[in-house]
Amino acid sequence: MLRLTWVQPEDLLGHELRQARLDGREPSAIEARWRAAGGPDAPERAGASAGRASRYLRLLAEDLLDELADLPSRLAEDEPTDLTAIKSLCAHWPQPSGAPRRAAGRPAPAPDALEAAWLGRAIGCLLGKPVEKLPLDGIRALARASGNWPLTGYFTARGVPGALLDRYPWNRRSAATCLAENIDGMPEDDDLNYPLLNLLLLRRHGRSFSTADVARLWLDELPPGRTFTAERIALRNLLTGIEPPHTARHRNPFREWIGALIRADVHGWTNPGDPAAAAEQAHRDAVLTHTANGVYAAMFTAAVIAAAATGTEDVHACLRAGLTVVPPRSRLALALAHALRLAGTHEHFDDVVDELHAVHAPTHHWVHAVPNTALIAAALAHADGDPTGSVCRAVSGGWDTDSNGATAGSVAGLLAGSPAALPDRWRAPLKNRLATTVADFDGVGFDTLAHLTHLEATRP
């Protein structure tokens, strides 16, 4: 039996109940009806429950998803999705540069810096892939068993007791390609597919692309089987005739998860020194699939990277630039402020992670954008933007390990400015080769991607 993940109504309902509580709606009465009918919780880590629900329960789930969407939110005024409303709440929204990209004082990042950013993204993703979905205790135990804690290199099964691997098995999709003993180039991952798609988006439509352009590109170039959570829901919605931005809202409990954040890098790389433009591009991309804090996470990331792309700012200034595009009373802004305070006051990053988990883990799914973005910011700040320190801290913090490592690596690689600044133990196993199903990019080198990105960053 094919049990397609991330689309079954009876599984979506449990996620929507949790999301409703997070975004200020009161779902108790609807939840009581679901429980009375025998409705299950959402799967904690899998994308679908093992068996199909009855026809009655499935139809009830669809009806209740629609009823939950109609509930009013007490956070609506502080957490809008409309860009004009977001700007009105951001008192320190960055001023648009407006300067031509080839003008003096507005240089694009050098191809070497962009190559380091692409490599950093791949390295962080690859480091996190084997332990994706594992609990924090499992990540720490596996690393300690091989003498790799605190993390300093890729995970390995060498020296790890079999009983420990039985308790905490590697991610099954990644075990054969992402451990130190079997890495042979960068394997395919959605954390790299989406930057490739956005590079393709800019080559076809330029920086004035619309959300509809993103949707058309996905329909043309993105295999549905390579999508997850909010992106898979959005594609389903497109195929049933729902148009953007309603694609982000219709029966989509993942609209504040991490998917839009992992698509943000190219928007930052191609708007050096212009966090406002980077955030606006990220917004047009994100609203195909996400709302509110899911969108802010992408805008924050794009703005941080745009600041880093100048080559003149340290990581702390870049993070401050990112905060200027996040509504200050939003849940994401509060989580980021808390994470940065922790990073500035704790000597040991494990203590930062433990506090973040104590605050967020009881209420958030492990793929939700709020805790993951907070962890990324804390990792970058605590490591002072050092590439190894940033990716290792981000991955060691758990949750969405490959996505967090990828974004931290992108920022830190860009700040490092050159592939040579990334230790060879990280770069060499990648063999300057990326596997993907996106367009004609399979087997592409990171140097080629840097060149193509530089062309978009310097396009008038």
Q: Residue 258: what are its φ and ψ, rounded to 5°?
A: -85, -5
pLDDT band at 221 (very low <50, low <70, confident <90, very high): very high
Three-state DSSP state, 79: coil
pLDDT at 114: 98
In order of 200, 226, 227, 285, 298, the CA distances from 221 in angstroms are 10, 11, 12, 15, 21
- Token readout for 112 is 């070497």
The whole-number average pLDDT for the span 248-263 is 98
Are 370 and 360 in contact by the 8 Å Cβ rule? The answer is yes
**Rounded-to-integer distance, Cα 410 and Cα 265, Å:** 7
**Rounded-to-integer distance, Cα 427 and Cα 123, Å:** 7
Give residue 305's identity as a one-letter amino acid code. Answer: I
Which of 309, 301, 269, 218 lies closest to 452 in space, CA to CA?
A: 269
User: Residue 103 pLDDT > 50, yes or no?
Assistant: no
pLDDT in tens, 154-184: 999 999 999 999 999 999 989 999 999 999 9
Query: Could you give the percent of the chain with pLDDT greater than 90?
Result: 93
- Which segments of 240-291 does DSSP mark as H helices, in order? 265-269, 275-286
pLDDT band at 105 (very low <50, low <70, confident <90, very high): very low
Give residue 155's identity as a one-letter amino acid code. Answer: F
pLDDT in tens, 358-387: 999 999 999 999 999 999 999 999 999 999
Are 272 and 106 in contact by the 8 Å Cβ rule? The answer is yes
Q: Looking up tokens 């990280």, which residue turns up?
A: 426
Mean pLDDT, the chain, rounded, equals 96
Q: Which long-range contacts (CB under 8 A, 24 or more apart) does 455-460 make?
A: 456/199, 456/202, 456/203, 456/266, 456/270, 457/101, 457/108, 457/109, 457/114, 457/269, 457/270, 457/271, 457/272, 457/309, 458/101, 458/102, 458/108, 459/101, 459/202, 459/206, 459/207, 460/100, 460/101, 460/102
pLDDT band at 108 (very low <50, low <70, confident <90, very high): confident
Report CA dihedral (364, 123, 101, 295) to the nearest 10 degrees.
Answer: -10
Give residue 212's identity as a one-letter amino acid code. Answer: A
pLDDT in tens, 22-55: 999 999 999 999 999 999 999 988 889 988 889 9
Are 421 and 83 in contact by the 8 Å Cβ rule? The answer is no
User: Residue 234 pLDDT > 50, yes or no?
Assistant: yes
Are 413 and 112 in contact by the 8 Å Cβ rule? The answer is no
User: Residue 113 pLDDT > 50, yes or no?
Assistant: yes
Burial of 165 (0-12, 13-18, 19+ CB in 10 A): middle
Burial of 89 (0-12, 13-18, 19+ CB in 10 A): middle
Read off the DSSP letter of residue 243: P
pLDDT at 154: 98
Are 342 and 358 in contact by the 8 Å Cβ rule? The answer is no
Are 151 and 396 in contact by the 8 Å Cβ rule? The answer is yes
**Rounded-to-integer distance, Cα 263 and Cα 211, Å:** 13
Three-state DSSP state, 355: helix
Are 133 and 171 in contact by the 8 Å Cβ rule? The answer is yes
Report CA dihedral (391, 223, 296, 98) to the nearest 10 degrees.
Answer: 90
Task: Provide the b/e sequence for 54-70 (b: ≥16 CB within 10 Å).
Answer: eeebeebbeebbeebee
pLDDT at 104: 40
Which of 269, 246, 318 lies closest to 108 in space, CA to CA?
A: 269
User: Residue 421 pLDDT > 90, yes or no?
Assistant: yes
User: Residue 99 pLDDT > 60, yes or no?
Assistant: no
Q: Residue 164: which residues within 8 A CB-CB, separation 6 or more?
A: 141, 142, 145
Q: Where are the domains of the chain?
A: 9-69, 100-127+186-457
User: Does the annotation flag 191 for ligand binding?
Assistant: no
User: Does the annotation flag 403 for ligand binding?
Assistant: yes
pLDDT at 447: 98
User: Does the annotation flag 396 for ligand binding?
Assistant: no
Read off the DSSP letter of residue 444: B
- Token readout for 144 is 């300690």
Query: What angle do helix axes 9-22 and 28-36 make, rounded to 10 degrees?
Result: 150
Say which CATH superfamily domain 100-127+186-457 falls into: ADP-ribosylation/Crystallin J1 (1.10.4080.10)
As beta bridge partners, residue 444 has 434
pLDDT in tens, 281-324: 999 999 999 999 999 999 999 999 999 999 999 999 999 999 99
> What is the pTM assigned to this prediction?
0.97
Three-state DSSP state, 186: strand
